[in-house]
Every structure is written in C-alpha cells, then in structure tokens.
Amino acid sequence: MKALNTAELERLIKLPKFELHVHLEGFVDLTFWEEMVKAQGTWTFERAQAMQAHFAFKSFPLFLKCFGAVIYSFLSPADFYRLARYAAERLKAQGVVYAEVMMTPPFFVNRGIDFFEMMAEVDRGFTSVEIEGGPQIKLIFDGARNFGNAEVRHCFELAAQDKTGRVIGVGLGGDEVNFPARDFVDEFKWAQAQGLHLTCHAGEAAGAQSIMEAVQLLGAERLGHALGIEAGSALEEEILKNSVALDLCPHSNLTTGVLATLDQHPLEAYLARGHRVSLSSDDPGFFRTDLIKELSWAWGLGGETLVKQVNQSALLASFMPPAQKTRWATEIAQF
C-alpha cells in the first residue's frame, strides 16, 4: 500500500469522518491491557507473556481466543471508564466526528459486573472526551451467537434497558458458520419491536447464504464484512432492493486470514455495482489498524474522491437522525 504524503494525510485526518463497525472491546491493545491490569494490581510477567502470545494470532479462531482472554481481564465498572475514554481519544485523534460502537455486555454482566454501573462508566468515559471536542458516540449491542439464543436475547434485553441514551441498535456477531442467522429470527423481531436498529455480521467467515439470511430473515439494515456478494446474483438484487448498507473492514479480513491480500477485497467492485459501503476498523487494537489506515488504503485505490464517496456513504448509512445527517452532509460537501 502506497503511503500518503504529508499533505494528503493531514487532509484525510481533517476530513470529518464516520465509523460504523468498530467494537469497544476491540480497542484493547497490549498497551491498554498492560495499563489496565497494572491498575488492577493483577499484572504478572507470565500473564503479560501469555497475552503477547495471544495477540500474535494468525487466524480467525485464534483471534477469538485472544478476544476471550481480553474479555476476562475486565473486573469492575471502573475498567470501562478507562476503555471508553481510550476508545474515544483514538477516534478523536483520527478526526472521527461520529461513531457507532459495538459492545457485548453479557460478556461482563454474566461474570458479576453490574450492567447499569458499567454503562454509567462507559457513558462517563465517552462524555469526558466529547466535552473536549471528541466524537459523538452511540452504541450497538452485539449478541454473541456462539452462546445461543438465550444469550442473544439477554444482550438485546439489556439494550432495551439502557438508561444512558447511547444504545440505538443491536447486532449479531461470532461464528456464523455453526450458528447461522436463521436461528435468531425471534430475537431480531423482538429487538425491532423495541425500536432498535438492526445490524448483523454476515459474510465474514461464511458465504452468500449467511448474508441472504441476515437480510431476508433478520431484516438487517447494515451488514458487517459482507464478503462474497456476486455480481448480478439474487443476493445482490436483494441487497440493492432493500438499500442494505455494507460495513467493510479490509484489514480485519486480512489479519484473520479471510483474505490473502487486500487486492482480493471487493470495495471497488461493490461501489461500481451501486452498493452503499463504508470502511471501518472492526477491532483496531487487535488488528493494528484504525479508520485512517482503512481510508488511506482506499485513497491509494481512488484518491480523495473515493475516500469522500465512502465517507459520505457511511454518513448516510448511519443511524443518526435525518436533520443531523443533513448538517454533516453540508459540511463534508464543502470540505
């Protein structure tokens, strides 16, 4: 990937940007993890070595193991203030003005962390950066399909119980091969009845059938990853007919081994065929990426014009209120 020159990079950072597919837990990197466990008093040399080995993953299953090890490092609501502020600061540094951040609360609630205390700390962390000129951040609760219907329903119920005003939608993540979308229709119908927006990881590690089920059966408004949509297929027609947006995460797919090279990524092909796409970093701490890196890659493909097209698509695909979208659309059009 050709590096942007200084002027191009500065312009990219200054562009008001929107990120739609990034996990709060995914902001954890080794630096953050070490600082957190040291503050907890739980750091040991052996534990640090084990975590370094986890972060050297080269496949999607090993990534999930690393993710699990990180999850079990969170011990109290106070850890979530630290994480929320860390995430918001990194978004702010990239010029992100609005983000929809995913989170899976049952990972922590099931281990005894109080949901409302945890959410209050998340809200406090985000707010502390917002008042410093940071991004507006909303939350999407992502159900972990690997743990079955009851856990996904639990996640969605927590979304409906949120008191911070930040939770605007739900999603479905995890192993889409062994836990297909068709198994979670009732949970999505329930969430929709609560007025929550619907997203779904689909086409990350499984194919077209997984994507079709997410669109037709779950009613997903946006799809995460969405690899494998063939030109002219019934699936493509369904996506275009329903204006389903695609949240693409190229470096995530590369790092987990889903793609051998970025040349295999369908960004340009999807755009040429009329799809609404955005770029996101997914789990930036794990994948050593961020939105600037994703958009820099896009800049290398099609220059500033392509970056602006993708960024505007992200704005339009977001779940922010229409009047707010209009204000931002006017601003980025003048950039």
∠ CA 253-69-52, rounded to 5°: 75
Just list the catalytic residues.
Answer: 204
- List, in order, residues 6 or more apart from 285 with CB less than 8 Å away: 26, 27, 28, 29, 32
State the CB neighbour count (10 A cutoff) for residue 116.
Answer: 14
Which pairing describes strands 167-173 and 277-279: parallel, antiparallel, or unpaired? unpaired
Q: Can you tell me the distance from the alpha carbon of 317 to that of 299, in angstroms, rounded to the nearest whole number?
A: 20
Percent of the chain that is helix, strand, coil (3-state, to 5): 55, 15, 30
Q: Can you tell me the distance from the alpha carbon of 138 to that of 48, in angstroms, rounded to the nearest whole number?
A: 32
Residue-by-residue DSSP string for 175-190: -TTTS-GGGGHHHHHH
